[in-house]
Amino acid sequence: MEKSEETRTPLNFIESKIEEDIRNNKNQGKVYTRFPPEPNGYLHIGHAKSICLNFGLGSKYNGKTNLRFDDTNPIKEEIEYINSILEDIEWLGFNWEGKPRYASDYFDRLYEWAIKIIGKGKAYVDDQSAAEIANQKGTPTEPGQESLYRNRSIEENLDLFERMRNGEFEEGSKVLRAKIDMASSNMHLRDPLMYRILKKPHHRTGDKWCIYPMYDWAHGQSDFIEGITHSLCTLEFEVHRPLYDWFLDQIIENDYRPVQTEFARLNLSYTIMSKRKLLELVNEGYVTGWNDPRMPTISGLKRRGYTPESIRNFADRIGVAKRDNVIDVALLEHALKDDLNKKAPRVMAVLDPLKVIITNWPEGKTEDLEAINNPEDESMGSHTIPFSREILIEKTDFMEDPPRKFFRLGPGREVRLKSAYIIKCEDFKKDPDTGKIIELYCTYDPDTKSGSGSQKKVKGTLHWVSAQHAINAEVRMYDRLFDHPDPAGQKDNDYKEFLNPGSLKVLKNCMVEPSLKTSKPMDKFQFQRIGYFCVDYDSTENHLVFNRTVPLRDSWAKMQKNRQNQNN
Ligand code: ATP
Ligand code: MG
């Protein structure tokens, strides 16, 4: 059924533009987008936004989407990064058109085009150092100075450029610059660099080149070569657009041009998104690697327990904007909880165990009880959990002298054990030296088995495991990596000062229900009453390791509710 005008999701500004282009039969109505990462680090949640946008539009408009590595800088780029990028995009659930492309595939073509531009008198070889060139740039309000080498003859420029390519000159001794306008109000048009000499092998072209194109010189031409129709990028490239257009106008006669549209990059509170800083955190050992579960990288989020669906839903929900803004990281966490709530089986784990002896339960007797896997989804069925005379509960679920509203255990108080019976605390034992509670003595009421239709009601329900059947597990309690909402934006401080000292607490004495013995890395669970957890890559059958994904408390949902209440 056609949705009525009012219920259809409104188009964002990029979709509106694409639909207008389709109506006008621009590019024969075709839509071709691309995602162009530079392989100099792992992808992060900001890139995920761009991936969802580009691949999402490609598929929404029956178009295609390329993956193109912008590999113009042989110094910072590594195969490890390329492989991680391929893996992350596939994990997010997207397929690129054909094979991955590389800007380096176009080095020959770019070289030919550079010669064409020199031949038109629109580019020259400059012998000045990078520092000298920068000094002549001027400021946005003052024009720059023209280089002494700006008016070299075409013949001399062609000869020097060829010799640059042949390796006759040292690194840093010459560059090729476009000859545009040193007084332009757009700094990017003040004779920008096109090539620099770098005597470094490239991961794909080996030793073939010792001059490498600048990103700005390669980017627009790469889009053109691939037939990209809608070239989407973040706002900081808006000022580069006239340069991309200028380059294409020098070398291309026909009318087809990739049209660039800019959108606001994703900024997240409590999060750093600069690849340079993320690399620092890795290299300086603040995290265990690019895929540390506290990193905002896609591989980190995956290891933390994020699902591809939750990331895609998050990207949908934030949409695209024309102006920079900051998204609350709680919204990302909310998207995850929303997804895991539907998918994650409920199990029981006790993080800080206290022994409880059920004094009226026969010694040696075990009863298999039924535990519902997910109350949100009946089709997920149930599994069994063993109940026996000695069980473990959380230490924090007992108080010797509890206040009235403490709906857990205390002397003489009753609680329900999840999926089991109602128990009553009759007595407890303290360690004579430390005064700490070490054992509780309870009785159970045999008429109160869960699911038996018992009418008896108590206020609190506790999670528990059977002491004899539970398995020891290591639980890594992750929290946000930074404890400041804007760790990178504090002028007088180094962002590392805002690292959260409590971002990882390792708990080694946790006890989990026996059904988890066969769990595999990346399996996700809700530990009842605690939060969502996922099995870490380090986990084995003999040493289970869980990562805390997110606590149950949903700060985003709570915030929305508060806001609603204020508005009512
Ligand atoms: P660098 O500083 O290394 O250039 P980068 O984050 O721009 O970092 P790229 O590999 O060039 O990294 O980015 C690939 C694509 O992802 C680009 O099109 C870029 O605009 C987009 N992108 C990068 N960061 C974000 C972000 N925070 N939000 C949305 N898109 C982003
Ligand atoms: Mg970039």
SS3 per-residue string spanning 391-458: EEEEHHHECCCCCCCCCCECCCCEEEECCCCEEEEEEEEECCCCCCEEEEEEEEEHHHCCCCCCCCCC
Cβ(47) – ligand 1 distance below 6 Å: yes
Catalytic site includes residue 38: yes
Q: Among the bound ligands, name the one nearest to the CA of residue 233.
A: 1
All domains in the chain, ordered by first residue: 22-263 (3.40.50.620), 275-345+474-567 (2.40.240.10), 349-463 (2.40.240.10)
Q: Flag whether pLDDT at 3 surpasses 60.
A: no
Residue 269, classed as helix, strand or coil, is coil
Note if the pTM is more than 0.75. Answer: yes
Distance (Å) from CA 185 to ligand 2 centroid: 23
State residue 1's pLDDT score: 42
Q: Which residues contact 479 (CB under 8 A, 6 or more apart)?
A: 294, 500, 502, 503, 504
Residue 7 pLDDT class (50, 70, 90 cuts): low
HSE-CB of 127 using CA atoms within 13 angstroms = 9
Q: Flag whether pLDDT at 372 surpasses 80.
A: yes
Q: Flag whether pLDDT at 426 surpasses 80.
A: yes
Cβ(273) – ligand 1 distance below 6 Å: yes
* pLDDT tens figures, 167-178: 999 999 999 999
Tell me how far apart the terminal alpha carbons of the chain are, to the nearest angstrom: 35
Cβ(74) – ligand 1 distance below 6 Å: no
% of the chain exceeding 70 in pLDDT: 98
- Rounded to an integer, what distance in angstroms lies between the CA atom of residue 504 and that of residue 496? 16
Residue with tokens 């890559």: 537
* pLDDT tens figures, 81-110: 999 999 999 999 999 999 999 999 999 999
Distance (Å) from CA 46 to ligand 2 centroid: 11
Query: Is the CB of residue 86 less than 8 Å from the CB of residue 100?
Result: yes
Cβ(50) – ligand 1 distance below 6 Å: yes
State residue 566's pLDDT score: 73
Give the angle 122-128-132 at the CA atoms, nearest 5°: 110
Burial class (CB in 10 A: 0-12, 13-18, 19+), 209: buried
**Candidates 38, 97, 280, 439; catalytic one:** 38
Cβ(46) – ligand 1 distance below 6 Å: yes
Residue of 131, 323, 354 lying closest to 238 (CA atoms): 323
Distances (CA, A) of 50 to 45, 122, 402, 554: 9, 34, 52, 26
Q: Among the bound ligands, name the one nearest to the CA of residue 273.
A: 1
State residue 568's pLDDT score: 62
Ligand 1 atom closest to Cα of 234?
20
Q: At what angle do helices 215-226 and 107-119 cross, to 10 degrees?
A: 110
Ligand 1 atom closest to Cα of 50?
30
Distance (Å) from CA 234 to ligand 2 centroid: 9
Mean pLDDT across 282-306: 98
Count the Cβ atoms, other than its own, within 10 Å of residue 76: 14
Mutate which of 54, 234, 290, 301 for ligand 1 pocket (most atoms within 8 A of beta carbon): 234
Nearest CA to ligand 1 atom 29: 265
Q: Among the bound ligands, name the one nearest to the CA of residue 50.
A: 1
Q: Which residues contact 214 (CB under 8 A, 6 or more apart)?
A: 72, 192, 193, 194, 195, 196
Cβ(233) – ligand 1 distance below 6 Å: yes
